[in-house]
Chain A
Amino acid sequence: MSDAASLSPGRQMVRLLLSHPSVLVGGALVLAICLIALMAPFLDTRDPNALSTSNRLKEPGYEGIMKVYTDEGRIKVPVVFRLGSDSLGRDIYSRVIYGSRVSLVVGITVASLAIAIGMIIGLVAGYVRWLDGIIMRIMDGLMAIPAILLAIAVVSVFNAGLTSVIIAIVVPEVPRVVRLVRSIVLSIREEPYVEAAITAGTRLPLLLVRHVLPNTVAPLIVQGTFIVASAIILEAILSFLGLGIPADEIPTWGNIMGTARENFQLHPHQIFYPGIILAVTVLAVNMLGDGLRDTLDPRFAKRM
């Protein structure tokens, strides 16, 4: 028996993954953005919400003076606006760096929640036959409404804020996960090895966890990355429209661009920088997802 053959299927997968270029490139970029978000305070940033009336609408690289209140009273410190400042004199560089936190938190939380909820509903729909019709018609109904409209509706019910934005984006993502899990469950439950487990007296919860769920892992990881990317975009759209997280509380790429919209003709760079990093992030996540799909689940690649 050769060395490779005696590895568990899981280990073989890891080997295969690391040999795929788009997994490597996409993964490295995603990792870099995660590091930026984690290390934000140490990347020569300032309080992203600090206003400075004297430094409004400055060009990138502008060197100005900022008044700071300390224990000894008001002092003036020299500051550099690497990417310029917005209409309230806030440092765009700091705001873009801190904005990555919101995007990643929203992306990852939405993906985890959507997968967790979708997996449970999908398992129920796939295994409890009489509930299947009811659940799937509800899911069809949800999918018939455009995600952005549904999100706007959900946000307007709750108060604007991080939690309501996350809920607003999870709701339209869940049906996609439900469909995926249900279709896998429906095909796997017919497999002889699942029937063999039933005759072996395996109880339903264990049966699902041990024999059915492992088959959903690879497709769900892939689907998860696509949810991350679409959640980041949806959050940016909501914030840009002023429906998401308010710009004076937490900076996000979306609300930075929303604030900058008014001055776009004179100061296009204010939209340009957050736009670029948003595009790069989404591209990186999608690249990672594509690579994972090709290696983890070749059949899924054809289904998309």
Chain B
Amino acid sequence: MAEAKSEYVLEVENLTVQLPEGLDRDKAIQNISFNIRPSEIVCVVGESGSGKSVTAQAVMGLLPSELKPVSGRASLEGEDTLAAGKARLRELRGTRMAMIFQEPMTALNPVARVGEQIGEMLEIHTDLPASERRKRAVEIMESVHLPEPERMVDTYPHQLSGGQRQRIMIAIALVLDPALLIADEPTTALDVTTQAQILKLIKEMQERRGTGVLFITHDFGVVAEIADRVVVMQNGCVVEQGLKDGILGSPRHSYTRMLMASVPSMTPPEREPVNGSHAVKTDLLCKRYGRAGWFGGGRVVLAARNVNLHVCKGETMGIVGESGSGKSTVARCIARLIEPTSGSIHLDKTEIATLPESKLREHRRKVQIVFQDPYRSLNPRRTIGSSLIEAPLNYGANKKKAIQDAYELLDLVGLPRDSMDRYPHQFSGGQRQRICIARALMVEPEFLIADEAVSALDVSVQAQVLKLLDTIRVRYNLAILFITHDLRVAAQICDRLVVMQNGIVVEQGPTREVYANPSHDYTRLLLAAAPGGNVDFGAGAASGKQMQITGG
């Protein structure tokens, strides 16, 4: 077709990339085909390991050397990038296609001014003089809505916020007006309000410049927010693709349906209020970080200010807020991993905020934590079994009994009993998180803190772990403090909710009430910023009921 060249920015046809031998599958991606038109945003969604990023790297010619494209084409405005030589690829990158990444801090050079980094693109690909390059840098910074571009052009990346850095990345990517922009999870590391702004910016830039965007994400909320068309990937294959409304409204493939059913709904289900006795109660809890320096000028941060909250037995209390809001600080104070600066913490009627370490030990058993990063929360050198029985042995349990308990808890969290003799590296993220939950339960705690415990997991795994948490809450009449930045997850699992901003509790109440009638501006802002907030992915209502079963 003669028109083919003008019709699509990117045509990917039967692209297959081989993996090195000895892995769990032999192709990273297999027979992938999709197209992107100018001014169109195509979202590639899938869970980790589905081959989304490999697809992007193959198109950009950035595949690691162990991965080889073995067949297919990826043509950028009619030119096959897989066949292009190194020099040609370098020319194309920047001028015709550009990429932005998940972590804007590591993607920017920390020792170069941001203006220089934008100018570098112009320096490499154009003959513009230095003064002109600077002018263009300021212009593009203005168009991505950075404040005071004239001044900011001379700042270093560490002086900017995460959102501003991502704007700089977008400015670098777009300064030469590429036909194709590849965005690999560009908002995953950002706070929800910043995410909303960046999504809006990408949409605005793409509409104004007619850029085709390949947007890689795991988040269906983002898809609902930004996509024109959607490509769903699983295990390196495209299982379904089509217009956004078609895919989100009536998914045909069972995997798509499963994925979307796993996305928690933004509408909190009806929940019986829990009227247990207080397991944990904090009064005017404060935590100050840093201190005045020896020669003055020390930096002091109030990470938590006068926090009053309580969690009842058998209740899941959520703390939501953006990064730096102090939600983890509160949790770590309650677990006494850090010392509160002032205020009191009552754990089952004992004041533990000021207890010295020697007397604290008997109370540690009652508070257990499940951490965010499943890859770092188990000692890689110790078998699962020895990690599980560590705490009971510390409290003088009989070893045989502890091992027996460990087997039973492995059954409860749904892992085979032979996991006991294996090492953490032999398990997936979701499995490790189950192990961590089992470890926390070994000492029969009264209070469980889940610090972003499902944030690092894929949605389908996330749904399973949430269900497990709810099961153990009911079974052990456990008080759970659930910390998350994800409002969808919070809506489904929490009985009550505390909203924090800059170390202050701005609002608290029953989850349903907070979502329906937020009283504080910040809560309203958070709720409005949640991507795809108004969409309840097909099975949304159904999954809401599903989560509820265990509550009743």
Chain A residues with Cβ below 8 Å from B364 are 198-201
Name A's interface SS. Answer: helix
Decide: A203 and B368 in contact? CB cutoff 8 A.
Answer: no
Q: Contact flags (1/0) for A1-14 with B, using CB distance below 8 Å?
A: 10001101110000
Decide: B394 and A203 in contact? CB cutoff 8 A.
Answer: yes
Most buried by B among A9, A195, A200, A203: A200
A195 to B, closest residue via Cβ: B337
A198-B337 Cα distance, complex, nearest whole Å: 8
A9-B426 Cα distance, complex, nearest whole Å: 11
Q: Contact flags (1/0) for B377-408 with A, using CB distance below 8 Å?
A: 11111110000001100110000000000000
A37-B450 Cα distance, complex, nearest whole Å: 59
A1-31 interface (Cβ within 8 A of B) = 1, 5-6, 8-10
Decide: B381 and A9 in contact? CB cutoff 8 A.
Answer: yes
Chain B residues with Cβ below 8 Å from A5 are 425-426
Question: A199 touches which one: B369, B378, B426 (CB < 8 A)?
Answer: B369
Decide: B376 and A199 in contact? CB cutoff 8 A.
Answer: no
A9-B378 Cα distance, complex, nearest whole Å: 14
**Given A8-B423, A193-B377, A211-B379, A201:B391 Cβ within 8 A:** yes
Chain B residues with Cβ below 8 Å from A214 are 381
Distance from B252 Cβ to chain A, minimum over Cβ atoms (Å): 36
Distance from B321 Cβ to chain A, minimum over Cβ atoms (Å): 20
| A109 at the B interface (CB under 8 A) | no
Question: B377 touches which one: A6, A9, A192 (CB < 8 A)?
Answer: A192
Question: A201 touches which one: B337, B369, B377, B395 (CB < 8 A)?
Answer: B395
Q: Total number of A-B contacts with CB less than 8 angstroms?
A: 67
A204 to B, closest residue via Cβ: B357
Decide: A9 and B376 in contact? CB cutoff 8 A.
Answer: no
| B311 at the A interface (CB under 8 A) | no
| A197 at the B interface (CB under 8 A) | yes
| B361 at the A interface (CB under 8 A) | yes
B329-372 interface (Cβ within 8 A of A) = 335, 337, 361, 364-365, 367-369, 371-372
Question: A192 touches which one: B373, B381, B382 (CB < 8 A)?
Answer: B373
Number of chain B interface residues as a range: 20 to 34
Decide: B422 and A196 in contact? CB cutoff 8 A.
Answer: no
**Given A195-B337, A201-B394, A203-B394, A9:B380 Cβ within 8 A:** yes
Question: A193 touches which one: B376, B395, B443 (CB < 8 A)?
Answer: B376
B159-185 interface (Cβ within 8 A of A) = none
Decide: B376 and A192 in contact? CB cutoff 8 A.
Answer: yes
A177-223 interface (Cβ within 8 A of B) = 191-193, 195-203, 206, 210-211, 214
Decide: B423 and A196 in contact? CB cutoff 8 A.
Answer: no
**Given A192-B371, A192-B373, A211-B379, A199:B395 Cβ within 8 A:** no
A198-B369 Cα distance, complex, nearest whole Å: 10
Decide: A200 and B391 in contact? CB cutoff 8 A.
Answer: yes
| B56 at the A interface (CB under 8 A) | no
| B305 at the A interface (CB under 8 A) | no
A10-B383 Cα distance, complex, nearest whole Å: 12
Chain A residues with Cβ below 8 Å from B439 are 196, 200
B357 to A, closest residue via Cβ: A204
Question: A200 touches which one: B372, B376, B390, B423 (CB < 8 A)?
Answer: B390
Distance from A148 Cβ to chain B, minimum over Cβ atoms (Å): 35
Chain A residues with Cβ below 8 Å from B390 are 197, 200, 202
| B227 at the A interface (CB under 8 A) | no
Distance from A294 Cβ to chain B, minimum over Cβ atoms (Å): 20
Chain A residues with Cβ below 8 Å from B436 are 196
Decide: B335 and A199 in contact? CB cutoff 8 A.
Answer: yes
Decide: B426 and A6 in contact? CB cutoff 8 A.
Answer: yes
A197-B426 Cα distance, complex, nearest whole Å: 21
Chain B residues with Cβ below 8 Å from A199 are 335, 337, 364, 367-369, 391
A198-B378 Cα distance, complex, nearest whole Å: 13
Can you list 6 residue pairs at the A/B interface with Cβ under 8 Å?
A: A193-B378, A198-B337, A199-B335, A199-B364, A200-B391, A201-B395
The 5 tightest CB contacts between A and B, nearest first, are A200-B391, A192-B377, A192-B371, A201-B394, A193-B379
Given contacts A1-B422, A193-B379, A210-B382, 6 further A-B contacts (CB under 8 A): A192-B372, A192-B373, A199-B337, A199-B369, A201-B391, A202-B394
